[in-house]
Amino acid sequence: MASTAPTVELAHGAAMPLLGLGTWPMDDAEAERVVAEAIGLGYRLVDTAENYRNERGVGLGLKASGVAREDLFVTTKFNKEWHGVDLAAEACERGLDRLGLDYLDLLLIHWPNPQHGRYVEAWEGLVRLLESGRVKAIGTSNFKPSHLDRIIEATGTVPDVNQIQLSPLTTRLEARAYHKERGIVTQSWSPIGGQGGEVRNEPKVLQLAEKYGKTPVQVILRWHLDSGLTAVAKSSDPERLAQNLDVFDFELDPDDVMSLSALDQGEAAAADSDEFGH
């Protein structure tokens, strides 16, 4: 059986697994099955969101796993309609209700939606939730350094995590440097490059998979870890779920990490959170 992922200590004290299960675009029924299977394989971090419309299924899967609540790390995210101090609290309660939980390990603002102009108030709401103990850690998703500057300046509170689109094709070096300087943990979404799996078919990835005796996806996930990143990866196939977690028994040579980073297509290859969001 694959080993449970090691953890990183977040700024506000929570211990977050380095690798977790992403659940988009699963529906409730699939999420319930996959979450229970994944936890049985050793996963302890499960990532969902209001916008995925599968929080109920995720919650049922958590219960079906039989693993104690305190041994699990559950992340969810809320949409722009909840961008406000009191609205963020309501979003949290609604998410907890759907998940069937009494606290969250990590709650994220899903997108900054700068045109909406309320993400600072949403962050103020998250700071209050952290202080109340309703959530153990708070963070952002898809925030650029300019967005992070505003919320930190307004509250003095630095996010535990910023979850951004990141893979060898979109290495996001500027954001990562900003995070590192401020003690924010970078978590990669779409870590293997999206539904099409473009990265896993890169000749360099295939070459390294052969070199290390691992699957292409295992090589890519190891690149995240060896780059000081954390990641949530989605799969609904039991064999691939197990493979995705089985990446803690090898490391990439520094030159191989650099060769994968060289696949970067630049910031333009990532979704622009000044333009897109929900």
Distance CA(3)–CA(19), nearest Å, equals 11
Can you point out the beta strands (E) in the chain? 7-9, 15-17, 19-22, 45-47, 73-78, 106-109, 138-141, 161-165, 185-189, 230-233
Give the number of other Cβ atoms within 10 Å of residue 264's Cβ. Answer: 15
Question: Is the distance from CB of 75 to CB of 103 less than 8 angstroms?
Answer: no
Q: Which of helix, strand or coil describes residue 100?
A: coil
Question: Is the distance from CB of 45 to CB of 104 less than 8 angstroms?
Answer: no
Question: Is the distance from CB of 217 to CB of 200 less than 8 angstroms?
Answer: yes
Report the greatest alpha carbon distance in the chain: 53
Give the number of other Cβ atoms within 10 Å of residue 146's Cβ. Answer: 11
Distance CA(140)–CA(76), nearest Å, equals 11
Distance CA(276)–CA(112), nearest Å, equals 9
Catalytic residue among 52, 103, 178, 212: 52
CA distances (Å), origin 278, targets 49, 150, 180? 11, 19, 27
Distance CA(88)–CA(77), nearest Å, equals 10
Please indicate whether residue 43 is annotated as part of the active site: no
Catalytic residues, which ones?
A: 52
